[in-house]
Amino acid sequence: LLWRIAGRFIFFFPGKEVIIANAVIAILTIGGQQLFSFFTFSCPCHVGQNLIYGLAFLGVPALILLIVGYALNNQTWRLVMGKRPHFERVTSSNKLLKYKLVCFVLCSITGRALVAPVTWLAVTLINGSYYSCAMSEYVPVYYYEAAPNVTASERSRILATFPCSQLVPPELTRARDEVILLLRYQSQVAGWLLIAVVVITVFLSYCLAGCFSPLSFLHFRYWSSYVHNEQELFDEATEQHSRLYAMQHVRKFFGFVPGSENVKEIRIPSLREWQAISGLAFLKRVDEEHYDYSLLHDWALKERASGNTCLQMLLLMAF
């Protein structure tokens, strides 16, 4: 049953358009990282500061990109704001299925959100500058015979200056070059290992999703196309429906709508009506099924209700 649910929601896995979008995000992240490094990164070359500075440049932008990735994904807000109908009967089996579905969708959202931060980490590790700055004072230099007759604290101070070539004494230039090469080697190996792990994980995810899907290849392509077209048509209908609904309220307030031809009569709103639609608009619940979306919407519904009340009173008087 779990894998049937996975198959039913396989469309959350990236299609061609999503792959292209992920590629664009990765390219933009690479470009942003290069510009960021060029204009802002400058290792302090001081004991105790290098590690914090280097790790901050490695981790903080990646964390920000992860949060932005979650925030820009519509599925995140659908998951957060999705509400269960009050008339739906809750059973233990329904709860279990719901939790499984949430897990699958959350994994999909996380996979999309990780594109930019993983790209950032991989590029920065392959570049090697951040890692070299962060780890320079922790490199054992006994192999390089650098500053053999100094204390441990003085050795750490000297090592911390290695990312800044202008601060290194001439007699330690060779040791400094070898240390920087070692750190760049470690950083680049870590970067390529990260890329390999991500690529293998994504590939296995695709394979597992395809193997356990209840749909054939062509059926899945049709389903993906249907979901895409349905969303596009729904968005178009939402835009048109909301525009037509708003036009009714604007017409009721002014007596016409923009773009109308042969406007013969306009309506002059009263001071009370201007005051009614001015101010801050809050989403107001009218009843169990409906909301007021704006102050103008609220005013139009009240005017309609008062008009219906007056009409009913006139009909009663007539009879």
- What does the H/E/C string look like for 243-267? HHHHHHHHHHHHCCCCCCCCCCCCC
pLDDT at 309: 53
> In the numeric block, which tokens belong to residue 120?
């950032």
3-class SS at 7?
A: helix
The size of the chain, in residues, is: 319
> In the numeric block, which tokens belong to residue 115?
């594109």
Global pTM reads: 0.73
- Reported as a pLDDT band with limits 50, 70 and 90, residue 7 is very low
Q: Residue 25 corresponds to which amino acid? A: I
Report how far residue 80's alpha carbon sits from residue 172's, in angstroms, rounded to the nearest whole number.
57
Residue with tokens 């990780």: 114
Is residue 82 packed enough to be buried (19+ CB in 10 Å), middle (13-18) or exposed (0-12)?
A: exposed
Report how far residue 112's alpha carbon sits from residue 102's, in angstroms, rounded to the nearest whole number.
15
pLDDT at 280: 80
- Residue 146's Cα: distance from chain center in Å? 47
SS (H, E, C) 102-159: HHHHHHHHHHHHCHHHHHHHHHHHHHCHHHHHHHHHHCCCHHHCCCCCCCHHHHHHHH
Q: Residue 200 corresponds to which amino acid? A: I
Mean pLDDT of all residues in 94-114: 80
Q: Whole-number mean pLDDT of the chain? A: 81
pLDDT in tens, 247-272: 999 988 998 888 877 888 888 999 99
**Range among 16-30, 35-49, 63-77, 203-217 rated most confident:** 63-77
> In the numeric block, which tokens belong to residue 289?
């099924």
Mean pLDDT of all residues in 155-164: 85
